[in-house]
Amino acid sequence: MQNFFRQTLLLIAFSIYNVSTIAAEPVSVVVGATQGLCIEDASCINRLHPSIPMTHRVKLGRTILFHTRDAVDVLGTIAAQRGDTEDSEVLRASILDKSRFYDMDYNFAHPMAGPVYIEGAEPGDVLKVTIISIDPGEYGYTFGSGGFIRDLMEGQFLAIWRLNNEFAVSDDIPGVRIANASFPGIVSTLPGPEQLQTILHREQQLADAGGQVMLPVSNKATPATICGPDGSASNECLRTSPPREHGGNMDIRYLQSGSSVYLPCFIEGCGLTIGDLHYAQGDGEVSGTAIEMSADILISTELLSNGPDLTYGPHYEGVSRFLDIPSERFYAVTGIPVKKEGDVPPHMDYLDSRVLGLLGNVSNDINIAARNALDSMINYIVATYGYNRNQALVIASVAVDLRITQLVDAPNVGVTAVLPLDIFVGEMVGTESP
């Protein structure tokens, strides 16, 4: 009996030791600094290239916590916003200075934490990234003067949002409250050498034809040793604005906590990087910005050696509620591809068509249909709720979903813009603290 009790006590002691040892180990690999700027952070990049060195090596099964920054690195990290760093007081005082946002250099966009080397990953593998949780910062912003229909807008406008774990409010758009639906705008692996050359070739072709594209720029690029003006690949590092085969700036609002995205591995270790977190966004991000924020995002990874075919871009999955609008009631408008004779939409003028300007109807053009739906929705918000057009554009960018209704009824394919009505909660909400 004594031996039994002795063995039992030893087993209990051994278990306690094991638990304490496990608890002492970091739960997650942490990527990204908690203060300062991306350009000062060795684990932050704003360009994509296969030669960019990995900042961390992570074994499969370990979770990764990314400290991410907003799209142009003006809000600081969430630790700085919450007063946990030396520069917090100065940062919080500067966030309400809107001139800082208008003076920003877009060459900084988009800061991304990483890249991370996933141990065991080889070219040809598929990396499954599951989003476990997202901790939003305390502030966000949305521009209401550009984006998809910048030619139909006038003047500058910026909304500053106050965020908590439930909703966002803004003194610049009183009476609106936006529910938390946080997600990463950018989830990406690094392109391989072959993919890089394909991308550079086709985007240069598009630029030469007059199309809208952002070619490599070395100014404000990081890491500077690779992508900066004196870097080894200064003319080859990809800008982060468009999504590509490797993922990137996909801006898919359905990638919320609990969803998974499948990314291709083009190089050994994949080179996983995450950034451009959004608190909420409508399908389309039509002003060019959502509710942009800094955030901490926790993810896990899995490797698939026989994964899905990602030739045309990543796949993703999640629960069906992510597809729903966050509202019990909605109002919707429709758009078809009609225009005034003589007009050529800005996104199509590079085609130099002798026919387009003469037409009042364009066959099967989703882009024009979407422009018309969005313009109609902005007019509706202005007429119904009393906001100006810039405020209405912000509301559309963070809450309105543009959806394709049909692609087969030539010449008039259909787009609908869906407005969730529960976001309108009263005149004084915008002046209350969340």
Q: What is the DSSP string of 110-125?
A: PPEEEEEEETT--TT-
Q: What is the pLDDT of residues 240-291, one digit of tens each?
A: 999 999 999 999 999 999 999 999 999 999 999 999 999 999 999 999 999 9
431: pLDDT strictly greater than 80: no
* Cα–Cα distance, 118 to 125 (Å, whole number): 11
221 and 81 within one domain = yes
Cβ atoms < 10 Å from Cβ of 114 = 25
Q: What is the pLDDT of residue 286?
A: 98
7: pLDDT strictly greater than 80: no
Final residue of a structural domain among 306, 323, 340: 323
* Residue at 9 is within a domain: no
| Structural domain boundaries enclosing 407 | 330-431
17: pLDDT strictly greater than 60: no
Q: What is the pLDDT of residues 134-146, one digit of tens each?
A: 999 999 999 999 8
Amino acid at the residue 412: N
Q: What is the CATH number of the domain that holds 358?
A: 3.10.28.20
* pTM metric for this prediction: 0.90
185 and 85 within one domain = yes
Q: What is the pLDDT of residues 286-320, one digit of tens each?
A: 999 999 999 999 999 999 989 999 999 999 999 99
Q: What is the pLDDT of residues 55-72, one digit of tens each?
A: 999 998 899 999 999 999
Cα angle 214, 215, 216 (rounded to 5 degrees) comes to 120
Q: What is the pLDDT of residues 24-35, one digit of tens each?
A: 445 689 999 999
319 and 197 within one domain = yes
φ and ψ at residue 69, rounded to 5 degrees: -120, 160
276 and 166 within one domain = yes
* Residue at 7 is within a domain: no
Q: What is the pLDDT of residue 26?
A: 57
* Cα–Cα distance, 380 to 147 (Å, whole number): 19
335 and 318 within one domain = no
362 and 265 within one domain = no
335 and 314 within one domain = no
* Residue at 2 is within a domain: no
Amino acid at the residue 12: I
> Across the chain, what does the average pLDDT equal?
91
Final residue of a structural domain among 323, 348, 372: 323
Task: Tell me which residue of 16, 233, 249 sits closest to 112, measured CA to CA.
Answer: 249
* Residue at 15 is within a domain: no
Q: What is the pLDDT of residues 216-248, one digit of tens each?
A: 999 999 999 999 999 999 999 999 999 999 999
Amino acid at the residue 25: E
Give me the number of domains the chain comprises. Answer: 2
Q: What is the pLDDT of residue 9?
A: 40
Per the CB < 8 A criterion, the answer to whether 33 and 180 are in contact is no
423: pLDDT strictly greater than 80: yes
Find the mean pLDDT for residues 396-416.
97
318 and 171 within one domain = yes
* Residue 68 DSSP SS3: strand
**pLDDT range class, residue 105, cuts 50, 70, 90:** confident
Chain position carrying tokens 């901790």: 135
Token pair listed for 310: 């990602």
132: pLDDT strictly greater than 80: yes
Q: DSSP assignment, residue 364? A: T
Q: What is the pLDDT of residues 195-209, one digit of tens each?
A: 999 999 999 999 999
* Residue 404 DSSP SS3: strand
Q: What is the pLDDT of residue 91?
A: 77
Q: H-type helices in 62-114, by residue range? A: 78-81, 88-95, 99-102
Final residue of a structural domain among 323, 349, 366: 323
Number of H helices, E strands in the chain: 8, 20
408: pLDDT strictly greater than 50: yes
288 and 388 within one domain = no
* Residue at 185 is within a domain: yes
133-160: b (≥16 Cβ within 10 Å) or e: ebebbbbbbbbbbbbbbeeebeeebbbb
Per the CB < 8 A criterion, the answer to whether 75 and 104 are in contact is no
Q: Taking phi first (over 0 means left), then psi (-120 to 50 degrees means alpha), and beta for anything else, what does residue 364 get? A: left
